[in-house]
Structure 1
Amino acid sequence: MELENRVAIVTGAGGGLGRCHALLLAQLGARVVVNDMNGENADRVAAEIVAAGGEAVGVAASVTDETAVAAMVADTLARWGRIDILVNNAGILRDKSFAKMDLADFRLVVEVHLMGAAICTKAVWDTMRAQGYGRIVMTTSSSGLYGNFGQANYGAAKLALVGLMQTLAIEGDRYGIRVNCLAPTAATQMTSGILAGEALARLAPDLVSPGLLALVGADAPSRAILCAGAGHFAVANVTLTEGAQIGGTGPDAARRVAAAWDTISDRSGEVVPAYGFFQAERELAGAGVAIPATAAR
C-alpha cells in the first residue's frame, strides 16, 4: 500500500485509461476522486473502487470549467483534508489534416488538454505548496513529442503540456512538488478506429497504468517523460546538441550557420538541460561571457 493515506484526483477517469489509473491508485492505497464529464461513468468507477474495499468518490465536472474544478477541489479537501496526487488525464480528439482542420477544433483540443490541465493544476497548487508535498502527472503523447499525421491540434496541446511540466517542476521543487509527464499508447475510445485486432489487445490501457507509481510515489522523479504501452516503458528527453560557435551577423553569418549544419545538429555529446536558461548560459560562455549560473532561474 505504497500510497496509503494519499489522496488522488484523476481526471477523465470514467473509462479507458483514466479508469485504469484510478483503479490502480486505489489498489495502492490512495483515496481517489474519480472525475469525468459523465457523472454516471464517474460514479460507476468510484463504486468499483469502493466494492473492492477502497475509498473513492465520483465527481462530474469538465476540466475546462474553473468553477466546477474549484468546487471539486474544495469538496475533496473537506472530505479528506489534503490532495497529494493529480493525474491530468482528460482529453479529446478532433483528428484531421491541418489543411482540412477547422480552427474551432484546434482551439477546442488545446482548451481541453492544455487549459484543462492548467486549470486543474492551478486549483491544487496552493494546497500542495502549503502541505509541502505534491505529485502531478501531465498526459502528453508521442504525437506531441514526435508528430503524427492529422493531429496538429492534439500534438500542439500535448507538447505544450511538456513545457508546462518543465516549468512547474522547477517552481514546485522547493515545496516538495514533483511534476512529470506520461506518454501512453493505449487502446481506448480515443484510439478506436485507428487500431484493430491483436494490436488493440496488446495495448490494453491497464498495461500503461503501472507506470504511474514511479511518477507519483514518495521517491518520484521530477521532469520525467515516461512513455508507456503494451507493458513497455521508456523515458523521452528534450536534448540540446553541443552545437558550434558561429558569431557575427548578416548574410555571411547566415551562410556559416548553413554550412556548419552537420556540426550544429551532431547529436554526439548532447545533454538534457536542467533548466531553460542553460541554453543562454552556454551560448554566452561560447562568446566569452561568464554569468552567474542562477542569474535567470
Structure 2
Amino acid sequence: MSQAKIIDGNAVAADVRAAVASQITILRAGGAPLPGLAVVLVGADPASQVYVRNKNKRAAEVGINSFEHYLPAETSEAELLGLVERLNLDPQVHGILVQLPLPAQIDAQKILEAIHPAKDVDGFHPFNVGRLVTGGPALVPCTPLGCLLLAKRELGSLSGKRAIVLGRSNIVGKPMAQLLLRESATVTIAHSRTHDLPEECRRADIVVAAVGRPEMVKGDWIKPGALVLDVGINRIPAAEPGKTRLVGDVAFAEAVTVAGAITPVPGGIGPMTIAILLRNVLEACCRLHDLPFAEVL
C-alpha cells in the first residue's frame, strides 16, 4: 500500500522565516526602520502564554522588534481599547496582535475592529476582510495564507483544481475559500449542515479541514492522490492513563494511505501560522513606510 508524502511544515516555515530575515536585513541596510510587532495577552491562559512566547522568540530571530503587553484577566474593555489606540499611534509598532480568546467581559470583535487596518497583521479587521473578498491588497489571516503556500508548493498552479474547505469560521474557513478562489480553484465550503459530506470530500483535489472535531475526516472520504491540509489541533486522551495527545481533524493513519500529500498534526500547519505572521509584520512595515515588499511566498 502506497503512502502519501508527509509535508514538513517546520521546514517550509523555516524557509519563510529565512526569507523574511533576509529581506529585513536588506531593508535595514538601506536605512529602513526595524519592523515592530506588539503582542497583547489578557489573562494567564497557559496555551496562549506558550503561543505568545513562541511568537516573540521567532520575531527576534528574524529581526523583528517585539513589544509584549501582559494584562490581568480582570482588565476592562475600555482599558484594552485604550492600549490598542496607543499602539495604533506608536510609530515603532507596525503590527498589532491581540491574543484570542479574550475574557468574557471584553467584546473581541470590538477590539479587533479597533486595531488600525494597516497594523492588523492577523487580517481580521473588516477592512482587510473586504479587501480580500474584492481582490484588493490586504493583510490576510495567517493560517489560511500558510495553507495556500503549502498548496502552491505541492501542486504549483491551483487553477481549475476542486477544493473543499471544511469549516466556515472567520479565522480560517472563509478566508481560505477566498484565497483559493483568487487562485482560480473551484471551491466548496462545507459545514455541519452539508448533505453527504463524505461524497463532497471525495470530489476534491484539495481538502482543507478546519472544523475542530478530532479525526472527523476519514480515509475513505479522500480522493486518491488528493492534497490534505489539516488545520485541526485537538487534544484527546492517549493510550497511557492520564496522558493526552494531539490529533488533527483528519484521521491521519487512514488518510495517509490514500492522499497524495498530507500535513501531520503537530508539525504541519501550526509552524506556518507564526511564520506567516512574521511575513505579515514585514509587509505592514513596508506599506506604512512606502518601502518595496518582495513576496516571500
Could you say which structure has the greater relative contact order, defined with CA pairs below 8 angstroms and 6 or more residues apart?
Answer: 2
Q: Same fold (TM over 0.5)?
A: no
**TM, length-normalised to structure 1:** 0.30
Q: Which has the larger radius of gyration?
A: 1
